[in-house]
Structure 1
Amino acid sequence: MGNQPLIVLSEDSQRTSGRDAQSMNITAGKAVAEAVRTTLGPKGMDKMLVDSMGDVVVTNDGVTILKEMEIEHPAANMVVEVAETQEDEVGDGTTSAVVVAGELLQKAEDLLEQDIHATTLAQGYRQAAEKAKEVLEDAAIEVDADDTEYLEKIAATAMTGKGAENAKDHLAQLVVNAVQSVADDDEIDTDNIKVEKVVGGTIDNSELVEGVIIDKERVHDNMPYFAEDADVALLDGALEIKETEIDAEVNVTDPDQLQQFLDQEEKQLREMVDSLVDVGADVVFVDGGIDDMAQHFLAQEGILAVRRAKSSDMDKLARATGATLVNSVDDITEDDLGFAGSVAQKDVGGDQRIFVEDVEEAKSVSLILRGGTEHVVDEVERAVEDSLGVVRVTLEDGKVLPGGGAPETKLALALRDYADSVGGREQLAVEAFADTLEVIPRTLAENAGLDPIDSLVDLRSKHDGGATTSGLDAYTGDIVDMEEDGVVEPLRVKTQAIESATEAAVMLLRIDDVIAAGELKGGSSDDDEDAGGPPAGGMGGMGGMGGMGGMGGAM
């Protein structure tokens, strides 16, 4: 070959390897954590996110911020996945999980500079995470599923620091009632809780409806507004004449022939409505459309009908009323009907909605969330979704931990003791993991305008003295017993956060070569300095967080 260089990659490819690759990935991960860090805790600040269309989202919900930012950098996206996993699994703790992942990467960077191998770090981090989960399991507090008051405290803790905080006690009560209503033995599906947002009124006007609210109105003005002790039919089809499957052309030579066609069509529609009348239906919800003529016949019979109901709403109606979804009106029988004590069209915030209430066992319920503006209602919804998640998880697991940085402080002390028993260089990684966890109480103090060093020292001394449920009260700056104060969160919120953050950090640290088919949105090659800003340099080096719509410098 005459010592000619062998070119394997295409000209457009970009390759970063060794320490440069690790440094780039760590910087990307840290930048994501930094973007949400100031939102942590009861005194956390909000972010305003403006997309390319000018739509505005104001929130301090970690996963919402990261999704709205539209991050494209591959390493940064792996940290975003930590928040998404946390949201899917438990519904809360997304910011904590991302902040821990970012801090793990920060500590790893210091150790990498001391020539500690990434594999050693990964091994140490994994050992520390396993030990952390054991310690948390031992420290967990058992909760009785019937202890409504305690569950309300858990729900309120998840809302603290969010837009719904002013009315958190009222909302926590609604959330716990909703989750208890849809609990089916040990099976709890929060999809059976429908959240309806209404702009107008105050957050305190929010209410729980034991039944289903459909964002529709009756199809015909002559239909009744209200049906009492109603037999409810659910049709997974349409009350219309079916179109022919092939294009057919009919030549009509005589007006009588046309009238015959129309009469036949009317007869078919009449038969459909008669089928519903015969089984005794008072209210009909239809997945598809309802022909104008059928609407007229239904109105004549005094039946309240709703068309084009969403399939998710149809499922909730079936669960709430006990009705069976029927494909064709020809197949309907009395046994397929459900029952509701009241079906009524009501005005909510200027919009007409159908309320299906007074069902025997409300296994499907609706939360009406009110607020002065659209942005307020949206943020209340996000807070309530988090709250529903933590109450569900608590009922499933029956275990909680104190909040306010108490578990993290306890873990940090336990892991430092454990590090002495770990041999080799992994010991340094375990110690780094212990230091990492203290980022949570430190950030809580910073966001509350307190001195983080003083707060951390006070916390450590309390825990050294055996007060393991002591945490930081962000409002007063005092170290108090979090369990007594009712600031508690599910065990799974903490274990999942530590697990996800560790996995993401370990995966990023083990990457020593980044080969991109085109230009990476996180920096530039040495010979193309203008392409993407400084190589992996802070937020700007991430190409404005890789598609943040020019918001890189604003965060």
Structure 2
Amino acid sequence: KTIEILRSVSKPIDLSDRESLLSAVDTCLSSKVVAGHADLLAPIAVDSVLHIMETSESTNVDLRDIRMVEQVGGTVDDSELVQGLVLQKGSNKAASGGVSQMPNAKIALIQYCLSAPKTDMDNTVVVSDYNAMDRILREERKYILGQCKAIKKSGANVVLIQKSILRDAYNELSLHFLAKMGILVVTDIERPDVDFICRTLDCTPIAHPDQCKPEKLGHADHVGDVVMEGGGGRVVKFTGIKDQGKTVTVLLRGSNDLVLAEATRS
């Protein structure tokens, strides 16, 4: 009954009338803690929703298509709407000369581990002499180098590595090889984020080195490691994404976690 009453007193708004939408959102924000930043947050809210609408006649949207990235540092006025993708963790520059900027990026999201394989059961390997130890290290190096070469052969110059709960998803050796190959690496991608990333970049997650193919890669004009002003750490920004899905990212800044939580909730 309440919904019926609300609908009877509501007034239709033309979704093409941006000023009316901004006025309505501005009114909603007036009772929030971040009301003083409504001039910035209202356009971000309106533009993000308009961007993910399937058609101009749509009456509903899936808010899961809007990614909220909270980054402590700076002020709320530093928040921005990014027509692309933002990952909170900076790129991993393990070795000297590690890549932090990549124009004309070809992006692979891998779900396998770039580290030495492990058995399904706990086993103990006893090494009795230095020759055997050296042989183990050579085989490990050869195995990881083969994986890295498969990535390079696919044409990828940006690699996103999904976090693993079973064993290390990568090691220092694999990061070293990728850096030497001129590949930008972003590690510890959370599993729940994989679907959003794939829809945004129009790429396919890769579960095995043999599946590293050019058709599974996403493409972007630029991928860069950005140091946030105000001591907010680093993020990786993907801009100019080819065939970007109906998704958008809102990068929220704030002096502390409480301000960020209020801005996100509002």
Normalising by structure 1, what TM-score? 0.43
Superposed CA offset, 1:53-95 (max 9, x none): xxxxxxxxxxxxxxxxxxxxxxxxxxxxxxxxxxxxxxxxxxx
**In structure 1, distance between residues paired with 2:52 and 2:207:** 26
1:217 to partner: Cα distance: 2.0
**In structure 2, distance between residues paired with 1:277 and 1:133:** 56
1:364 to 239, 247, 253: 247
Structure 2 partner of 1:175: 45
Structure 2 partner of 1:207: 80
Q: What is the RMSD of the two structures over their aligned residues, measured on CA atoms?
A: 2.0
Cα gap change, 1:379 to 1:257, in 2 (>3 Å)? same
Structure 1 partner of 2:125: 250
2:181 to 301, 305, 315: 301
**In structure 1, distance between residues paired with 2:3 and 2:80:** 38
Question: Structure 1: any 5+ residue segments left out of the alignment?
Answer: 1-128, 384-555
**In structure 1, distance between residues paired with 2:83 and 2:172:** 32
Structure 2 partner of 1:452: none
2:19 to 149, 153, 158: 149
2:65 to 176, 184, 192: 192
1:362 to partner: Cα distance: 5.3
Q: Name the stretch that deviates more: 262-271 or 373-382.
A: 373-382
Superposed CA offset, 1:13-40 (max 9, x none): xxxxxxxxxxxxxxxxxxxxxxxxxxxx
Contact 1:317 1:364 in 2 (8 A): no
Residue correspondence of structure 1 range 507-546 to structure 2 within 5 A: none
Whether 1:277 aligns to 2:152 is yes
* DSSP-derived class of the 2:142 partner: helix
Q: Name the stretch that deviates more: 338-347 or 132-141.
A: 132-141
Cα gap change, 1:179 to 1:254, in 2 (>3 Å)? same
**In structure 2, distance between residues paired with 1:205 and 1:254:** 59
Contact 1:234 1:326 in 2 (8 A): yes
* DSSP-derived class of the 1:269 partner: helix
2:213 to 319, 330, 333: 333
Q: Which amino acid aligns with 1:277?
A: K
Residue correspondence of structure 1 range 32-47 to structure 2 within 5 A: none
Superposed CA offset, 1:332-391 (max 9, x none): 2111000111111111132011111221335332212223444333222221xxxxxxxx
**In structure 2, distance between residues paired with 1:203 and 1:248:** 52
Superposed CA offset, 1:368-427 (max 9, x none): 2223444333222221xxxxxxxxxxxxxxxxxxxxxxxxxxxxxxxxxxxxxxxxxxxx
Structure 2 partner of 1:543: none
**In structure 1, distance between residues paired with 2:192 and 2:125:** 40
Contact 1:227 1:342 in 2 (8 A): yes
Q: Which amino acid aligns with 1:216?
A: K
Identify, as 1 or 2, the structure richer in helix. 1
Cα gap change, 1:290 to 1:184, in 2 (>3 Å)? farther
Cα gap change, 1:197 to 1:252, in 2 (>3 Å)? closer
Superposed CA offset, 1:214-245 (max 9, x none): 11122224321100110000012321222111
**In structure 2, distance between residues paired with 1:358 and 1:287:** 23
Contact 2:202 2:245 in 1 (8 A): no
Q: Which amino acid aligns with 2:156?
A: A
**In structure 2, distance between residues paired with 1:163 and 1:332:** 48
Residue correspondence of structure 1 range 26-425 to structure 2 within 5 A: 129=1, 133-185=3-55, 186=58, 188-219=61-92, 220-221=94-95, 222-288=97-163, 289-348=169-228, 349-350=230-231, 351-360=233-242, 361=244, 363-383=246-266
Contact 2:111 2:205 in 1 (8 A): yes
Contact 1:210 1:362 in 2 (8 A): no
User: In terms of Rg, which structure is larger?
Assistant: 1
Superposed CA offset, 1:499-524 (max 9, x none): xxxxxxxxxxxxxxxxxxxxxxxxxx
Contact 2:89 2:235 in 1 (8 A): yes
1:260 to partner: Cα distance: 1.7
* DSSP-derived class of the 1:354 partner: strand
The alignment-based identity, stated in percent, is 27
Q: Which amino acid aligns with 2:125?
A: V
* DSSP-derived class of the 2:61 partner: coil
Structure 1 partner of 2:166: none
Contact 1:230 1:342 in 2 (8 A): yes
Contact 1:347 1:353 in 2 (8 A): yes
Contact 1:199 1:373 in 2 (8 A): yes
* DSSP-derived class of the 1:307 partner: strand
Contact 2:71 2:88 in 1 (8 A): no
Superposed CA offset, 1:231-276 (max 9, x none): 0000123212221112333343442222222111111101100110
**In structure 1, distance between residues paired with 2:124 and 2:108:** 36
Cα gap change, 1:145 to 1:312, in 2 (>3 Å)? farther
**In structure 2, distance between residues paired with 1:135 and 1:321:** 43
Contact 2:53 2:246 in 1 (8 A): yes
Contact 2:158 2:184 in 1 (8 A): yes
**In structure 1, distance between residues paired with 2:227 and 2:35:** 27
Contact 1:181 1:362 in 2 (8 A): no
Identify, as 1 or 2, the structure richer in strand. 2
Higher relative contact order at CA 8 Å, sep ≥6: structure 1 or structure 2?
2
* DSSP-derived class of the 1:142 partner: coil
Contact 1:226 1:343 in 2 (8 A): yes
Normalising by structure 2, what TM-score? 0.87
1:205 to partner: Cα distance: 2.1
* DSSP-derived class of the 2:159 partner: strand
Q: Which amino acid aligns with 1:300?
A: K
**In structure 2, distance between residues paired with 1:380 and 1:240:** 40
Superposed CA offset, 1:183-238 (max 9, x none): 23446221222222233333222211111211112222432110011000001232
